[in-house]
């Protein structure tokens, strides 16, 4: 059963437990998604009541924006402490090796993390690019550095000498949906966002949207779907889709079909894989939403999914139709980033995509630098978390245990 909570109800509770200086605004999107709570200091430990308000904000609004963090105060270890309330932080596969191989070739293991050597990690490349911009200090393998620039660690302080260009946006996806227990909450801490604008008012030129060029997708989807996929923001915003609103807008028979649907997800081609539902019900709000109902969200990296009981061709057709529904403008929200922002999203209730961005940049003014943490499991009102060893071994890659500072 859906128990809807209004912006004013969340605001009243937020003022009661965070103080009257907190300003709550929302929804941020026309679909009803997104709530902003301004005036919270996430460097301070949170009380159970405070955590409860934030959990409810996410459960009802799918995306929560907590701007204005003091980056001198909110260190990455403190950001990871905050993330522990949402679930167990998961090491990102780009940060570790297993048996000498990149962690991206994933699988369940209980073995210890073998951290990638520092010079191979994104931090070293980011730090080498500009004298006036370095990553916030961290060692945790849970921190994913998201940056549109790389220097050469053997020749620090020199921006790249190749041509500046605009990289196309990514593909619509949710974070790490390809494990039996998917990630459900991800969050960014924004260090830098690009400020320059071209004469037309945007950071990047209008991206090429010809349906004749399928990249980065597989060829063969309809022109309508391809055009919707490629309509991405141009100021470095992260593009989101509200899959709760999109599910609610489906006709009743299509909703029923989605509720019955199971998709086979596989880590690698040839794996037997496992069956996963695409409709999830949020345990706090009762909202139903679509989780990664995408035929091939990681072309060339993970195999496309198939719908249980359907052929590959029929699976693609049905899921492409669903994706075309989801990507309609009324369910979309482009979230602008600013330094000091923390933005949290529920991967069961949203899709997202990275925008086109300048790469090979000459100036740190064009830098887009953020840190992502992602969490699995149940929220925790108090810390440290009490996850059992067997659960951690089964679901958190490489045996990582998040420290609480």
The answer to whether 203 and 236 have CB atoms below 8 angstroms apart is yes
Query: DSSP H helical segments within 174-292, as ranges?
Result: 223-230, 243-248, 252-260
Residues 154-183 that bind Fe ion (CB under 5 A): 175
- Residues 275-334 binding Fe ion (CB under 5 A) are none
Closest CB 267 distance from Fe ion, rounded Å: 17
Helix%, strand%, coil% for the chain, nearest 5: 25, 20, 55
Report in angstroms how near the CB of residue 175 gets to Fe ion at its nearest.
Answer: 5
- What is the closest distance, in whole angstroms, from the C-beta atom of residue 141 to Fe ion in the complex? 17
**Non-local CB neighbours of 199 within 8 Å, separated by 6+ positions:** none
| Closest by CA position to 149, among listed 165, 136, 137, 138 | 165
- Closer Cβ to Fe ion, 128 or 187, answer by number: 187
Longest dimension (CA), the chain: 60
Least spacing, CB of residue 297 vs Fe ion, in Å: 9
Q: Which residues pair with 198 in a beta bridge?
A: none
Spatial contact of 185 and 55, defined as CB atoms under 8 Å apart: no
Q: Which is nearer to Fe ion, 175 or 323 (CB)?
A: 175
CB 121 within 8 A of CB 171: no
We find the least distance from the C-beta atom of residue 155 to Fe ion, in angstroms, to be 30
Q: Select 18 or 331, whichever has its Cβ closest to Fe ion.
A: 331
Site residues (CB under 5 A) for Fe ion, limited to 174-233? 175
Measured from the CB atom, is 175 or 242 closer to Fe ion?
175
Strand partners, 24: 37
Q: How far is the CB of 181 from Fe ion (least distance, A)?
A: 17
Please report how close the Cβ of residue 393 comes to Fe ion at its closest, in angstroms: 25
Q: CA-CA distances (angstroms) from residue 161 to 198, 265, 360, 365, 379?
A: 21, 41, 8, 17, 45
Binding-site size, Fe ion (CB under 5 A): 1
Smallest distance, Fe ion to C-beta of residue 325, A: 21
Q: Which residue number places its CB atom closest to Fe ion?
A: 175
Q: Are 333 and 29 in contact (CB under 8 A)?
A: yes
Least separation in angstroms between residue 132's CB and Fe ion is 28
Binding mask 105-144 toward Fe ion (x if CB under 5 A, else -) reads ----------------------------------------
C-beta of 175 vs 366, nearer to Fe ion: 175
Question: Segment 75-94, which members bind Fe ion (CB under 5 A)?
Answer: none
Question: What are the residues whose beta carbons fall under 8 Å from the beta carbon of 178, sequence distance 6 or more?
Answer: 106, 265, 266, 267, 298, 302
Positive/negative CA dihedral, 112, 145, 293, 351 = positive
Helix (H, G, I), strand (E, B) or coil at 85: coil
When the beta carbons of 50 and 292 are compared against Fe ion, the nearer one is: 292
Closer by beta carbon to Fe ion, 141 or else 159 = 141
Q: How many CB atoms lie within 10 A of CB 299?
A: 15
Nearest approach, Cβ of 158 to Fe ion (angstroms)?
Answer: 30
**Is the separation of the CB atoms in 341 and 188 below 8 Å?**
yes
Residue-level length of the chain: 405
What residues from 12 to 41 belong to the interface with Fe ion (CB under 5 A)? none
> Which CB atom, from 175 or from 179, has the smaller least distance to Fe ion?
175
Instruction: List CB contacts of 8: < 8 A, sequence separation 6 or more.
Output: none
341 scored as a contact of Fe ion (CB under 5 A)? no
Q: Which is nearer to Fe ion, 175 or 288 (CB)?
A: 175
Closest CB to Fe ion among residues 187, 261 = 187
Judged by the rule CB under 5 A, the positions of this chain that interact with Fe ion are: 175
């Amino acid at each position: 059963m859906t128990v809807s909570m209004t912006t004013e109800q969340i605001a009243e509770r937020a003022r009661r437990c965070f103080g009257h200086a907190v300003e709550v605004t929302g929804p941020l999107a026309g679909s009803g998604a997104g709530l902003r709570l301004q005036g919270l200091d996430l460097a301070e430990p949170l009380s159970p009541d405070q955590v409860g308000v934030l959990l409810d904000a996410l459960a009802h609004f799918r995306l929560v924006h907590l701007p204005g963090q003091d980056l001198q105060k909110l260190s990455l270890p403190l950001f990871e402490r905050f993330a522990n309330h949402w679930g167990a932080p998961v090491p990102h596969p780009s940060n570790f090796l297993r048996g000498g191989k990149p962690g991206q070739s994933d699988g369940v293991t209980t073995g210890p993390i073998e951290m990638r050597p520092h010079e191979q990690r994104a931090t070293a490349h980011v730090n080498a690019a500009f004298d006036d911009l370095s990553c916030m200090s961290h060692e945790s393998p849970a921190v994913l550095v998201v940056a549109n620039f790389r220097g050469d660690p053997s020749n620090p302080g020199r921006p790249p000498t190749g041509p500046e260009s605009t990289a196309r946006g990514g593909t619509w996806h949710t974070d790490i949906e390809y494990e039996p227990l998917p990630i459900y909450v991800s969050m960014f801490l924004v260090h830098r966002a690009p400020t320059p604008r071209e004469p037309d008012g945007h950071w990047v030129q209008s991206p090429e949207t010809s349906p004749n060029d399928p990249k980065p997708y597989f060829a063969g989807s309809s022109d309508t779907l391809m055009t919707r996929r490629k309509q991405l923001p141009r100021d470095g915003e992260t593009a989101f889709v509200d899959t709760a609103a999109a599910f609610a807008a489906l006709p009743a028979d299509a909703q029923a079909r989605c509720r019955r649907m199971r998709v086979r997800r596989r880590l690698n081609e040839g794996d037997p894989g496992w069956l996963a539902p695409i409709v999830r019900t949020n345990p706090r709000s009762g909202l139903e939403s679509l989780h990664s109902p995408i035929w091939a969200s990681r072309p060339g990296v993970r195999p496309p999914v198939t719908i249980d009981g359907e052929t590959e061709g029929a699976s693609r057709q049905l899921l492409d139709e669903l994706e075309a529904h989801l990507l309609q403008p009324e369910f979309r929200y482009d979230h602008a980033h600013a330094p000091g922002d923390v933005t949290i999203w529920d991967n069961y209730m949203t899709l997202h995509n990275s925008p086109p961005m300048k790469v090979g940049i000459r100036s740190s003014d064009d830098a887009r630098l953020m840190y992502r943490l992602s969490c699995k499991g149940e929220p925790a009102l108090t810390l440290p978390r009490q996850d059992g060893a067997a659960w951690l071994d089964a679901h958190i890659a490489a045996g990582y245990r998040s420290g609480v500072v």
